[in-house]
Structure 1
Amino acid sequence: MTDRAMGDAAESGGLTVGAAASHAGVTVRTLHHWDAIGLVRPSGRTTGGYRLYSAADVARVHRVLIYRELGLPLDDIGELLDAPAVDMTVPLRQQRAQLLDRISRLQSMVDAVDRMIEAANAGILLSAEEQVAIFGQRWDPAWAEGARDRWGETPQWAQYAERAAGMTPEDWRRIADSVATLENDLAAAKRAGVRPGSAEANALAERHRASIGAYFDCTLPMHVCLGRSHAADPGFRAYYDAIEPGLTFWLRDIIDANARDRGIDPDSATWT
């Protein structure tokens, strides 16, 4: 409240509820409620029975607003304002501790959002050197950027970014170890002549689909699209064929056969 308004309240015998509400930046309904619960009661009344707020009343309104901004409940504010002379810093210190805790939680949320943004932009929250160290010398860090360019506008990429934001290098290392084991099993099955569509091949195809599930929920049609995309990409062909010659197309074939056995026509599969 300005000095002029305080003076007006003193000289006129008080401000009406509308004027007091306007000066304090609250609604008339709020002042009516605070009067009803005994939090801020006007000192005077007009001859017609209307509320009149003195300078002291309006100052109390502002004190209530300060404490409410700090997050104190109205009941606690009333007790604080009406208490005899005590150490008023006690509740304020308690509230300060709560505010610091809230700030800490909000900062953690901001950090998590920042990591999601970074994951969505970078594709993976690892440096190129860390990627090669974890995924092996055959890994090309450009693949993450290429995947972002291709899939960055899809819900699956958003899901991946959300999961990747919470992954540590140790998490990635566990995933890499699991994928390496799967790739070795795929290569061994290819060398052993396992036929696409056989129970063993279908189980391997499902393991491959489950490995993609570490990044996003991969449906059978999506799996078919990925298998064919990898077979058409020279970089992926070089990666898989370095593990076992012809592995890329064999993997595509077992993915197609697995989908077909589960009621999906690979030739009409779409990214759904």
Structure 2
Amino acid sequence: MTTMVHNETDEDATVGVAADLLGLTVRTLHHWDEIGLASPSHRTPAGYRLYTWDDLERLSRVVAYREAGLTLDAIRDVLDDATAEIGDTLREQRAQLAERIHDLQQLDERLERMTDAHERGILMGDDEQREVFGDDWDPQQSRAARFVWGGSRQWAQFAERSASRSKSQWRELSESMSALQRDLADAVGRGVEPASEEADELVERHRELFSNFFPLTRQMQVCLGRMFEADEGFSSYYNGIGDGLATWFCQSIDESARHHGIDPETATWE
């Protein structure tokens, strides 16, 4: 809040008195003096600053404009230039403030979405999720995943990406995953060998698609492949896409890892 000087005084004010009157620090008054913004008219024989009534009035105006958000250079222009249009300066300041408020509102909205994404995973309602991912999709899956993975770096990365992903982008990603699953089912149905070039291409395509959720290294992919085969829920899901797909996909991921110099038996989640 701006502190105004109400009463004239017959005596000049010392820097300490001036600072107390205006709610400033002595150091601030020294700085303003050094840069020529608001200097005392007098000094004692010992060199101490003394502020007249007019000096205090100028200081009050400096404080008022500073609290309005003007820079010290802009304040100097307003106070020293007789031709300066104070109204124009203040309107410009308001315009800048409005822009800052807009930016802060957008930042607040992004933070709100990121907070929700960390708690919910996918920022769509249940009906929207079924519309995008299909009628068989269970919206509880992403919420349940938070309880399993919520404290991990990968969940944080997933949430951060989810916060900025639109419904159409989710749909595009879902369609790409569905296309991959159809190609995986076709490959296992045709008896494609896990170590073949075609299998390697499918594994790499899976890794790249999955990296839309969080960065997936080849070692991490090996761990996922083992989970796809060993976990009853995952294996039922993949085998429902194609008979024997869970085991075939796990083997294909292992072989692809070997082709990149990784021993799948020692692969870790990193």
Q: TM-score, normalised by structure 2?
A: 0.90
The aligned residue for residue 165 of structure 2 is 167
Cα deviation 1:181-209 (Å, max 9, x = unaligned)? 11111110010101111111111111111
The aligned residue for residue 122 of structure 2 is 124
Cα deviation, residue 88, structure 1:
2.4
Cα deviation, residue 211, structure 1:
0.8
Structure 1: which amino acid aligns with 2:250? Answer: R
Cα deviation, residue 256, structure 1:
1.7
Aligned residues of 2:219 and 2:269 also touching (Cα < 8 A): yes
Q: Indicate the percent of aligned positions where both proteins have the same amino acid.
A: 47
Structure 1, gaps ≥5 residues long:
none
Cα deviation, residue 63, structure 1:
2.2
Structure 2: which amino acid aligns with 1:32? Answer: H
Structure 1 range deviating more: 153-162 or 186-195: 153-162
Structure 2, gaps ≥5 residues long:
none
RMSD: 2.2
- Measured in 1, the distance between the counterparts of 2:153 and 2:20 equals 48
- Measured in 1, the distance between the counterparts of 2:261 and 2:149 equals 26
Q: Aligned with 1:52: secondary structure? A: strand
- Measured in 1, the distance between the counterparts of 2:129 and 2:32 equals 61
Aligned residues of 1:224 and 1:252 also touching (Cα < 8 A): yes
Structure 1 residues 44 and 206 mapped into 2: Cα distance closer, same or farther (>3 Å)? same
- Measured in 2, the distance between the counterparts of 1:150 and 1:231 equals 19
- Measured in 1, the distance between the counterparts of 2:261 and 2:79 equals 72
Number of aligned residue pairs: 269
Cα deviation, residue 2, structure 1:
6.3
Q: Aligned with 2:9: secondary structure? A: helix
Aligned residues of 1:116 and 1:161 also touching (Cα < 8 A): yes
Please point out which of 27, 40, 43 is paired with 2:41. Answer: 43
- Measured in 1, the distance between the counterparts of 2:257 and 2:43 equals 82
Aligned residues of 1:17 and 1:31 also touching (Cα < 8 A): yes
The aligned residue for residue 61 of structure 1 is 59
Q: Aligned with 1:10: secondary structure? A: coil
Structure 1 residues 251 and 140 mapped into 2: Cα distance closer, same or farther (>3 Å)? farther
Please point out which of 212, 221, 235 is paired with 1:214. Answer: 212
Cα deviation, residue 19, structure 1:
2.6
Q: TM-score, normalised by structure 1?
A: 0.90
In the TM superposition, 1:1-272 aligns within 5 A as 7=7, 10-11=9-10, 13-84=11-82, 87-272=85-270
Cα deviation, residue 85, structure 1:
7.7
Cα deviation, residue 80, structure 1:
0.8
Structure 1 residues 234 and 146 mapped into 2: Cα distance closer, same or farther (>3 Å)? farther
Aligned residues of 1:43 and 1:52 also touching (Cα < 8 A): yes
Structure 1: which amino acid aligns with 2:201? Answer: A
Q: Aligned with 1:214: secondary structure? A: coil
Cα deviation, residue 102, structure 1:
0.5
Aligned residues of 1:138 and 1:239 also touching (Cα < 8 A): no
- Measured in 1, the distance between the counterparts of 2:83 and 2:113 equals 49
Aligned residues of 2:19 and 2:26 also touching (Cα < 8 A): yes
Cα deviation 1:94-153 (Å, max 9, x = unaligned)? 100100101111111111111111111101111121111111123222221232222221
Structure 1: which amino acid aligns with 2:152? Answer: T
